[in-house]
Amino acid sequence: MTMMMQIRPHIAISNLMVVVGAVMLLLLQQGRWAEAQPSPGYYPSSKVSSMPFSQWYSNLWGAQHQSLSPDQTSLTLWMDRSSGSGFKSKRAYRNGYFGVSMKVQPGYTAGVNTAFYLSNNEAYPGYHDEIDVELLGTVPGEPYTLQTNVYVRGTGDAHPIVGREMRFHLWFDPAAAFHHYAVLWNPDEIVFLVDDVPVRRYQKKVEATFPEREMWAYGSVWDASDWATDGGRYRSDYRYQPFVSGFKDFKVAGCEVGAPASCSPVPAGPGGGLSAQQTAAMSWAQQRAMVYYYCQDSSKDRSNYPEC
């Protein structure tokens, strides 16, 4: 009896420590997601009106895995064992602002790739250009990864692939609410934005490493199990299907193919390029959230990346 009385307080203390640890972890996660992002001072998304989906986009594949709202302002895509789904812009562009708000699914989503990107892979198969914004699925307890990437003139078709990735663990939970993701592609730079905060600027330093040919805008949900989550360690598990992603606030502005030479690119900032305040916000995002940058990867063959 005395021994039991001695043991029980130790058990109670141990249990209390477990609870306290769990609460502290939850508070840390909430603090990370609740951390206020800095004001960029300029909001490109506010300069572009949202449009009905069907005005600029159409289904590309997996039509049976798409659901468009009656007012055409939001689109739901889902992936199951039979298929994913994707859409494509009706027009091609030579530069512009391309944005959409996305929300992904919580829980086990390993291997699932929710993507919004520019590409000309159908026009130049095997030798295409591409600018990617991808939310890569995860396992419970681990954050989603935002991957940005640039492929130029077939580097995404090469063996091995020559990618220019920058990845982030965002300062919010992308499964909790919609957030706006955008690509601003201009003749001299590409800016990736999250809720109008620039997170990456890819400048034209070497002509051969910058996409200059016309591209279309795409969105999709597909199975990227071979590489998306921890290098392919965790794969899509269809016991958790369907994997659902939402898209809304479709924004496109820029120079279409065939537009007159007088068509001006969409400015990245109030003076054309990024302002000092925008650059400071980008530095905050990279210091706070960046988890991988290809130019810092010592395993890369540097001859493939002259811009680094």
DSSP 8-state code for residue 269: B
Q: Return the domain boundaries, the chain.
A: 44-297
Average pLDDT over residues 85-97: 98
Instruction: Dump pLDDT digits (tens) for 206-235.
Output: 889 999 999 999 999 999 999 999 999 999
Q: What is the pLDDT of residue 207?
A: 83
167-183, pLDDT tens digit by residue?
A: 999 999 999 999 999 99
Q: Which residues are tagged catalytic?
A: 130, 134
Stretch (H or E) spanning 10: helix 2-34
C-alpha count within 13 angstroms, C-beta hemisphere, residue 97:
26
pLDDT band at 146 (very low <50, low <70, confident <90, very high): very high
Q: Quickly list DSSP for 34-57.
A: HPPPPP-S--GGGGS--B-HHHHE
CATH dotted code for 44-297: 2.60.120.200
Q: Tell me, what DSSP letter sits at residue 137? A: -
- Measure the CA–CA gap between 194 and 174, rounded to whole angstroms: 11
Confidence class for position 35, pLDDT limits 50, 70, 90? low
> For position 20, what pLDDT does the model report?
38
Question: What is the pLDDT, as a whole number, of residue 14?
Answer: 39
Sign of dihedral through CA atoms 124, 128, 130, 134? positive
Band (pLDDT 50/70/90 cuts) for residue 17 is very low
